[in-house]
Amino acid sequence: MRLGVGAAIGSAGGYLMSLIFKRASFLSFELKNLVVLAILWSLFTLSQMIRSESGVMTTVVAGAVFANSSVPEERLLRSFKGQLTILSVSVLFILLAADLSIASVFALGWGSLFTVLVLMFVVRPINILLCTWNSDLNWRQKLFLSWVAPRGIVAASVASFFAISLTQRGINGGDSIKALVFLTIIMTVVCQGLTAGWVAKWLQITSKDVTGAVIVGCNPLSLLIARFFQERGENVVMIDTDPESLVQAEAQNLRVIASSGLDAAVLEEAGLASMGTFLAMTSNGEVNFVLAQRAAEEFKPPRVLAVFPRDPQANSSVSNKVNQAFIPDLAIKTWNEYLNDGRVKLGTTTLNELEFSTQCDRIQEKIRTGVLIPLLVEREERLQVMPANQEWEVGDRIIYLLHDPRPSLLKRLSGATQSTPLSLEKLPEVEDLSLAQLSEFSASEASGG
């Protein structure tokens, strides 16, 4: 009966909330949040008045109906819900813990400690193993889930409820159950909560290790970068409003979305929340900056970069969220023309300890003269888009584009054509080759031509 009453009221209430959220255009978004919250409280009260203990079922069903109604700006509503959750949980913890006696916790003895350790090291891993048996999670993620299982407000509230119910019925043991649950909360929060970050780094599953990229702006330069991520098996999504540009991306088997990157729903469809890199590189630098700033604020991917004509150190708040891609003031239109005309070479170099300063100076000199742009850096087997303020380290592998000013006729005579895909190679213009190495390189290039 309780389930039926809760389901009926929750279904009607969830539909009403979604209707208000979609059609009440006279209400601002902030007021819509409060109206939805007021309706939810009213549904809970109504359900409790009709049938006791049916309010929880009502709220659950109402939330399920509302979430599946494709309401606009659902992500912002979830953010509002998160703030309410933090506030409510904080208050409830204080109220529930205020009724707990420390003496009742010590009265449990060493057996309670052993019970909690069994929950942490035996029950939880078995639970995770069974629940994730045929999932896409790898062993690192499963091990992390097995370790991190802090108990919280649900366990505390249920234990308090049972303790009160048992006491009212004259049954002993209610306080012991409550004390054991709070001991479990204390141990799991302290031991597992405080070590979660260290364990995540040890297992290499932090947000910095997330792969994949969402690139806004489909042009020759962005397609080249997408190709490198794709070759490493990472997910890449291209977003652009120009159908002709997207045809080239589809020809490379890239996932494309023909829409504006300013639409948060489009970024959500692209899966930005689970991607490691967001890169805005349209031909409009100001638009790129706005796109990157919005992506950083709403989705918080680990790496947010954009091509925009500003000093990345000019504003500390901006530089912390959005990194300037490649080099300051990149002439993206010019380099796209170079790529279209085949007037570039694709090179790679690895910074070694013996010649580190010399290599850096040589590359920086070519960057200053405008003939080279560093595209990607590979560090610890992770490929990332090169930020303009990147500090290079020994062992970094840098992938770059070098302007090739040779006339088109001379390049055609050497065997290169505009349709020839760029191949990654070490270039003598950047590498410090000896005369013998240089002559050997020229001979191999001539024989290859």
DSSP-derived letter for residue 219 is S
DSSP-derived letter for residue 388 is T
CA pair distance 121, 119, nearest whole angstrom? 6
What is the pLDDT averaged over residues 113-137?
87
Task: Give the chain's end-to-end CA distance (angstroms, integer).
Answer: 83
Sort strands 255-258 and 277-280 into parallel, antiparallel or unpaired.
unpaired
Side-chain-side CA neighbours of 18 within 13 Å: the count stands at: 18
pLDDT bucket at 415, cuts 50 / 70 / 90: low
pLDDT of 373 reads 94
Q: Between residues 395 and 173, which one has the greater pLDDT?
A: 395
What is the pLDDT averaged over residues 386-397?
92
> Helix, strand or coil for residue 43?
helix
Greatest CA span in the chain, whole angstroms? 98
pLDDT bucket at 441, cuts 50 / 70 / 90: very low
pLDDT of 446 reads 47
pLDDT over 70, % of the chain: 87
pLDDT surpasses 70 at 437: no
What is the pLDDT averaged over residues 31-51?
88
What is the pLDDT averaged over residues 61-67?
87
pLDDT of 151 reads 62
| Burial class of residue 443, CB neighbours in 10 A (0-12, 13-18, 19+) | exposed
pLDDT surpasses 50 at 388: yes
pLDDT surpasses 60 at 434: no
Residue 338 in tokens: 């170079």
pLDDT bucket at 416, cuts 50 / 70 / 90: low
pLDDT of 449 reads 46
Extents of the domains making up the chain: 2-72, 102-205, 209-448
Lowest-pLDDT choice from 13-17, 205-209, 247-251: 205-209
- The 10s digit of each residue's pLDDT in 138-165 is 888 888 888 886 666 677 777 777 888 8
pLDDT of 319 reads 53
pLDDT bucket at 429, cuts 50 / 70 / 90: confident
Q: Which CATH architecture has domain 209-448?
A: 3-Layer(aba) Sandwich (3.40)
Residue burial 264-299, b: 16+ Cβ < 10 Å; e: rest: bebbeebebeebbbbbbbbeebebbbbbbbbbbeeb
- Among 68-72, 202-206, 285-289, which range has the highest average pLDDT? 285-289
Residue 359 in tokens: 């290599």
pLDDT of 360 reads 92
pLDDT surpasses 60 at 24: yes
- Among 77-81, 189-193, 400-404, which range has the highest average pLDDT? 400-404
Q: Between residues 317 and 211, which one has the greater pLDDT?
A: 211
pLDDT bucket at 29, cuts 50 / 70 / 90: low
Question: Checking phi first, is residue 215 left (phi over 0); if not, alpha (psi -120 to 50) or beta?
Answer: beta
pLDDT bucket at 332, cuts 50 / 70 / 90: very high
pLDDT of 445 reads 46
CA pair distance 218, 339, nearest whole angstrom? 13
Lowest-pLDDT choice from 183-187, 208-212, 441-445: 441-445
